Amino acid sequence: MNALAARRRHPAAIAILIILGLFLTGAVYAALAPKPADATTRALPAQSVEEGKALFRANCSTCHGLNAEGRATGTGDQIAGPPLAGVGAAAVDFQVGTGRMPLPRPDVQAPANNEIKFTQDEIDSMGAYIASLAPGPGVPSEEAVDPTKGDAARGGELYRVNCAMCHNFAGAGGALTRGKYAPPIEGVSGRHIYEAMVTGPQSMPVFNDANLTPESKRDIIAFLYTIDEAESPGGMPLGSLGPVSEGLFAWVFGLGLLVASAVWIGAKSA
């Protein structure tokens, strides 16, 4: 140790340290780097690719192109549908499974729609077709999105740091620029939450497994399930929109009740 300490001011020391640091970082990264999402991905039957391609051509190719290469609008200055190679089966499952696709009309963003146009088998087939074009995130396994296996408290912390600025503290949604918005995520299934995080639909950023590990994603899903199921302890939550709805309530109902009682007692003869 003493010999090492004596040479710590050697001209080569700094270079050796940098090389050592780079080597160690590389080695640790290689050991810990996120693997492709195989472990969390459901296997897709190969035979459904052909069926998915047929469905895709019939329902999606108007905007996305016959081979999912993407298309411009008639005027050529805007994108009708983006190219889909590499978006993965997860994106198909999310977009079609939440009713966002097929898009009924061009808009600032695709709204969630309760009317799902395809069966889950059809969605899976289209997902298999899109996944066959280029590798991309797959549909998560049941285990990966099981809220009972997540830590809701940790998920809450991650949610507040990564998600609340757009989706609001209670998942009630929030505004983005020019009419775009972060949709409410109350009552959204864990699978769709997971898929949204890995694919980054609309204006949402991608939270890949390096940003948020699969366990962290499961924690966030657990947190969202917890606040969905929890009854609101203080009474009516007024849309969980914060002080704006509280102020509106105070002015309309609070003042209304108090003034009505003032009028009533003022009209009472003395």
Partner 1 sequence: MSTAPTRPADALRQGDRPAEARPGAAARTVGGVAGWVDDRTGAAKPVGYLMKKVFPDHWSFMLGEIAMYSMIVCLLTGAFLTFWFVPSAGHTIYDGSYVPLRGVSMSEAYASTLNISFDIKGGLIIRQIHHWSALMFIVALVVHMFRVFFTGAFRKPREINWAIGSVLALLAIIEGFAGYSLPDDLLSGTGIRAMQGFVQTAPVIGTYLVYAIFGGPFPGEMIIPRLYSAHILLIPALLVGLFTAHIGLVFLQKHTQYPGPGRTEKNVVGFPVMPVYAAKAGGFFFIVFGILALISAVVQINPIWAYGPYDPSAVTAGAQPDWYMGFADGALRLLPGWLEFEIFGYTVSMNIFPGALLLLPLVYVVLGVYPFLERWVTGDNREHHLLQRPRNSPVRTGIGMAAITAYSVLLFASGNDIMAIKLGMSINDLTWFFRIGFFVLPPLAFWVTKRICLSLQRRDRDTVLHGRETGTIVRTPDGRFFERHDTELTPDQWILVQHEPVAPLELEPAVDENGVARPAARKDRLRARLSRFYFADAVNPVTPEELAAAHYHGEEHEAIEPSETSASGGAAPIESAEAGRH
Q: Please give the sequence-ordered ranges of beta strands (E in DSSP) within 47-128, or none if there are none.
A: 71-72, 79-81
Is residue 187 part of the contact set for partner 1 (CB under 8 A)? no
Is residue 166 part of the contact set for partner 1 (CB under 8 A)? yes
Is residue 258 part of the contact set for partner 1 (CB under 8 A)? yes
The interface region with partner 1, picked from 27-35, 120-128, 162-170, 213-221 by CB under 8 A, is: 162-170
Least distance to partner 1, CB of residue 111, Å: 9
Sign (positive or negative) of CA dihedral 74, 77, 81, 83: positive
Beta carbon nearer to partner 1, 17 or 257: 257
The interface region with partner 1, picked from 39-47, 98-106, 112-120, 223-231 by CB under 8 A, is: 223-231
Among 79, 99, 92, smallest CA distance to 183 is for: 99
Least distance to partner 1, CB of residue 78, Å: 17
Is residue 221 part of the contact set for partner 1 (CB under 8 A)? no
Beta carbon nearer to partner 1, 11 or 243: 243
Sign (positive or negative) of CA dihedral 106, 112, 115, 120: positive
Is residue 78 part of the contact set for partner 1 (CB under 8 A)? no
Beta carbon nearer to partner 1, 60 or 224: 224
Write out the DSSP string of 246-260.
HHHHIIIIIHHHHHH
71 phi and psi, to 5 degrees?
-145, 150
The interface region with partner 1, picked from 74-82, 121-129, 133-141, 219-227 by CB under 8 A, is: 219-227
Among 100, 250, 118, smallest CA distance to 183 is for: 100
Is residue 85 part of the contact set for partner 1 (CB under 8 A)? no
Is residue 1 part of the contact set for partner 1 (CB under 8 A)? no
Is residue 247 part of the contact set for partner 1 (CB under 8 A)? yes
Among 190, 189, 202, 176, smallest CA distance to 100 is for: 202
Is residue 150 part of the contact set for partner 1 (CB under 8 A)? no
Write out the DSSP string of 120-142.
HHHHHHHHHHHHHHS--PPPBPT
Is residue 203 part of the contact set for partner 1 (CB under 8 A)? no
What residue type is 190 in one-letter code?
Answer: G
C-alpha 133/C-alpha 131 separation (Å) is: 5
Number of residues that bind partner 1 (CB under 8 A): 62
C-alpha 65/C-alpha 92 separation (Å) is: 15
Is residue 16 part of the contact set for partner 1 (CB under 8 A)? no
Q: Which residues bind partner 1 (CB under 8 A)?
A: 108, 152-154, 156-157, 160-161, 164-170, 172-179, 181-182, 223, 226-227, 230, 232-238, 240-251, 253-255, 257-259, 261-263, 265-268, 270
